[in-house]
């Protein structure tokens, strides 16, 4: 599995290799991609560009000519993980197992030249917006090592570009996800100023891809075998405002449903503003027609008005409560996923309880929670009322304990239901079982459905009956032959 929001996946272990048996290619590059699906799309685009320039992509990061580490820089634990991975690769380089080590992504953008001192031995640092020039950088780093040239200057070993004013194309990717699903980035950057978030400083202002470009990319992905599209952005409901002068997510969703070969469309990262009646209408019609999944990933962060204000979220408690009701009314059976941030500076016990009560009331089918992370480059760094680490952790654990009951209850309520699943592949630990997902399960961040069946392949759509659960996962039995990639199957 790849592309996790939990910053814990090293893609090179799972990605398809471009190396073919008997290949004459001599330059090999391995990628280690950390962080969120937006970063994964960048990783895949860089790999696509490297393949075009004659590089062979290898899944074996232990013997590559170049290892590219695409880092995450969102919060301290993610940065520490990225630094750990870079150090591992530098140790391999020192032992002579691999060639050059290049560092890209959000941590590179955030720490810039300082990274050369922090992790000495890195051959090149490439900021987020230097992505388009990766092939030149990789070639240069490879040649420099091969020819044993003198050590390059700091300037020669760093590449930073300003954030683009127009969205960059992600076509021609070398995908790291399984063949049957892909992330599609509809926009980049963010115009909001949430006080805990460092993303706008790394990824720049919001830039939307024009609808025609997204459609072309969706067709390319469908032709490559993709059946499930996962729409991602920093803020997907802001889509279109920069290029069309108004939110156009509704129009985009309408158009995407016409792409042949795509059976499921799943929407992520909806900010709880700009969810207009028109968008709700399109969403509910799309769900009825079958291609748009009744699933919405909408990070809410908090419910207390005072905390939301200090976070500069620009939505209040009433608006959020109303929105949850509107969504559930418009889309029966909707699976809502949300993320919350606890222990924000100044969050009182009463405000935390307000959040607990909201979560108990709203009963999100899927939920993630993060303890507040102190980030020097964010406006919240200057806020007073910093809470002790253990309080933040206790609050996060408390919410997860409540959520576990909600999620287990939801799983039990599914018993006996017949649902459509997409098969991810055989379960390697349990012969005769497959790992599959329903409309309720986004890859890597949600539970799975464990399916008892025979003769299935990754990407098959099947009808199944839910007959049990194992913690968060559902158990199911296959009912009929695979549906031949039926459009809109669910
Ligand atoms: S909406 Fe807020 S939390 Fe999300 S990326 Fe933008 S600034 Fe960060």
Residue of 188, 194, 309, 312 to mutate, ligand 1, most atoms within 8 A of C-beta: 194
Residue 144: the pLDDT is: 83
- Please tell me the distance between residue 234's alpha carbon and the centre of ligand 1 in angstroms: 6
Mean pLDDT of 49-71: 93
Residue 60: the pLDDT is: 84
DSSP-assigned letters across all residues of 398-451: HHHHHHHHHHHHHHHHTTT-EEEEEEEEE-TTSTTEEEEE-TT--TTTS--EEE
Mean pLDDT, the chain, rounded, equals 91
Nearest atom, ligand 1, residue 269 CA? 4
Nearest atom, ligand 1, residue 191 CA? 6
DSSP-assigned letters across all residues of 211-227: HHHHHHHHHHHHHTT--
Task: Using pLDDT thresholds of 50, 70 and 90, give the confidence band for residue 16.
Answer: very low
- The answer to whether 182 and 214 are in contact (CB under 8 A) is no
- Please tell me the distance between residue 170's alpha carbon and the centre of ligand 1 in angstroms: 22
- 289: three-class secondary structure by DSSP: helix
Residue nearest atom 8 of ligand 1, based on CA coordinates: 197
All domains of the chain, ordered by start, with CATH? 27-159 (3.40.50.12160), 181-412 (3.80.30.20), 418-478 (2.40.50.140)
- Statement: residue 21 has pLDDT above 70: no
Mean pLDDT of 352-366: 98
- Statement: residue 340 has pLDDT above 80: yes
- Please tell me the distance between residue 236's alpha carbon and the centre of ligand 1 in angstroms: 11
Residue nearest atom 2 of ligand 1, based on CA coordinates: 194
Determine the longest span between alpha carbons in the chain, in angstroms: 68
- The answer to whether 104 and 130 are in contact (CB under 8 A) is yes
Residue 86: the pLDDT is: 97
- Statement: residue 18 has pLDDT above 60: no
Residue of 35, 38, 78, 190 to mutate, ligand 1, most atoms within 8 A of C-beta: 190
Task: Return the DSSP state at 245.
Answer: S
Nearest atom, ligand 1, residue 313 CA? 2
CA proximity to 31, closest of 50, 9, 3, 59? 59
Residue 345: the pLDDT is: 98
Residues near 318 by Cβ (< 8 Å), separated by ≥ 6?
none
Q: Give the helix, strand, coil percentages of the chain, each rounded to 5.
A: 35, 20, 45
Please tell me the distance from the alpha carbon of residue 2 to that of residue 11, in angstroms, as a whole number. Answer: 6
The pocket around ligand 1, CB under 6 angstroms, is made up of 190, 192, 194, 197, 199-200, 234-235, 271
pLDDT per residue over 437-457, tens digit each?
999 999 999 999 999 999 999
Structure tokens at 480: 């009929």
Percent of the chain with pLDDT over 70: 92
- Statement: residue 3 has pLDDT above 70: no
Residue 15: the pLDDT is: 40
- Please tell me the distance between residue 299's alpha carbon and the centre of ligand 1 in angstroms: 9
Considering only 23-37, 159-173, 235-249, 398-412, which range has the smallest mean pLDDT? 23-37
Mean pLDDT of 463-486: 84
pLDDT per residue over 311-322, tens digit each?
999 999 999 999
Please tell me the distance from the alpha carbon of residue 341 to that of residue 396, in angstroms, as a whole number. Answer: 8
Please tell me the distance from the alpha carbon of residue 249 to that of residue 169, in angstroms, as a whole number. Answer: 18
pTM assigned to the model: 0.91
- Statement: residue 84 has pLDDT above 60: yes
> Hunting for tokens 């992520």 — which residue is that?
268
Residue 14: the pLDDT is: 31
- Please tell me the distance between residue 194's alpha carbon and the centre of ligand 1 in angstroms: 6
Residue 59: the pLDDT is: 86
> Is the C-alpha dihedral spanning 164, 141, 4, 199 positive or negative?
negative
The secondary element (H helix, E strand) that includes residue 106 is helix 106-111
pLDDT per residue over 171-203, tens digit each?
999 999 999 999 999 999 999 999 999 999 899
- Please tell me the distance between residue 315's alpha carbon and the centre of ligand 1 in angstroms: 13
Q: Identify the residue with better confidence: 73 or 185.
A: 185
Residue of 36, 163, 271 to mutate, ligand 1, most atoms within 8 A of C-beta: 271
- Please tell me the distance between residue 332's alpha carbon and the centre of ligand 1 in angstroms: 28
- ∠ Cα 237 381 353 (to 5°): 70
- Please tell me the distance between residue 49's alpha carbon and the centre of ligand 1 in angstroms: 29
Residue 150: the pLDDT is: 59
- Statement: residue 9 has pLDDT above 70: no
pLDDT per residue over 223-244, tens digit each?
999 999 999 999 999 999 999 9
Nearest atom, ligand 1, residue 301 CA? 3
- Please tell me the distance between residue 333's alpha carbon and the centre of ligand 1 in angstroms: 27
- Statement: residue 361 has pLDDT above 70: yes
Task: Using pLDDT thresholds of 50, 70 and 90, give the confidence band for residue 490.
Answer: low
> Hunting for tokens 């926009």 — which residue is that?
187
Q: Identify the residue with better confidence: 146 or 435.
A: 435
Residue of 106, 163, 234 to mutate, ligand 1, most atoms within 8 A of C-beta: 234
Residue 219: the pLDDT is: 98
- Statement: residue 7 has pLDDT above 80: no
């Amino acid at each position: 599995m790849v592309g996790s929001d939990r910053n814990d996946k090293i893609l090179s272990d799972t990605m398809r290799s471009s190396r073919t048996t008997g290949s004459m290619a001599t330059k090999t590059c391995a990628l280690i991609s950390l962080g969120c699906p937006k970063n994964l799309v960048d990783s895949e685009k860089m790999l696509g560009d490297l393949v075009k320039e004659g590089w062979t992509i290898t899944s074996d990061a232990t013997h590559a000519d170049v290892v590219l580490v695409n880092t995450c820089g969102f919060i301290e634990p993610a940065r520490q993980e990225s630094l750990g991975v870079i150090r591992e690769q530098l140790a391999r380089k020192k032992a002579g197992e691999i060639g050059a080590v290049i560092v890209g992504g959000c941590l590179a953008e955030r720490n810039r030249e300082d990274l050369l001192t922090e992790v000495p031995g890195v051959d090149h640092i490439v900021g987020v917006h230097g992505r388009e020039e990766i092939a030149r950088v990789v070639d240069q780093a490879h040649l420099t090592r091969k020819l044993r040239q003198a050590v390059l200057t700091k300037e020669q070993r760093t590449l930073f570009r300003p954030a683009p004013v127009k969205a960059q194309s992600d076509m021609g990717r070398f995908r790291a996800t399984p063949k049957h699903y892909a992330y599609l980035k509809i926009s980049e950057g963010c115009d909001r100023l949430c006080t805990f978030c460092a993303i706008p400083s790394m990824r720049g202002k919001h830039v939307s891809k024009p609808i025609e470009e997204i459609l072309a990319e969706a067709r390319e992905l469908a032709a490559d075998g993709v059946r499930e599209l996962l729409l991602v952005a920093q803020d997907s409901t802001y889509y279109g405002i920069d290029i069309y002068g108004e939110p156009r997510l509704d129009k985009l969703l309408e158009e995407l449903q016409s792409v042949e070969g795509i059976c499921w469309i799943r929407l992520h990262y909806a900010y709880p503003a700009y969810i207009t009646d028109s968008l709700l209408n399109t969403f509910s019609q799309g769900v009825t027609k079958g291609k748009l999944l009744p699933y919405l990933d909408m990070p809410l962060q908090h419910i207390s008005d005072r905390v939301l204000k200090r976070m500069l979220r620009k939505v209040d408690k009433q608006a959020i409560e109303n929105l949850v009701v509107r969504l559930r009314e418009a889309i029966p059976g909707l699976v809502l996923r949300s993320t919350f941030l606890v222990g924000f500076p100044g969050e009182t016990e009463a405000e935390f309880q307000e959040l607990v009560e909201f979560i108990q009331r709203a009963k999100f089918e899927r939920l993630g929670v993060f303890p507040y992370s102190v980030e020097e480059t964010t406006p919240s760094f200057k806020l007073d009322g910093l809470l002790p680490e253990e309080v933040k952790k206790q609050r996060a654990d408390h919410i997860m304990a409540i959520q576990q009951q909600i999620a287990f209850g939801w799983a039990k309520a599914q018993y006996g239901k017949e649902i459509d699943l997409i098969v991810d592949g055989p379960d390697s630990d349990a012969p005769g079982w497959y790992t599959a997902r329903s409309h309720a399960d986004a890859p890597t961040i949600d539970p799975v459905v464990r399916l008892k069946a025979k003769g299935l392949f990754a990407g098959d759509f099947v009808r199944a009956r839910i007959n049990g659960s194992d913690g968060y996962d559902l158990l199911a039995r296959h009912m009929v032959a695979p549906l031949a990639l039926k459009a809109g199957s669910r």
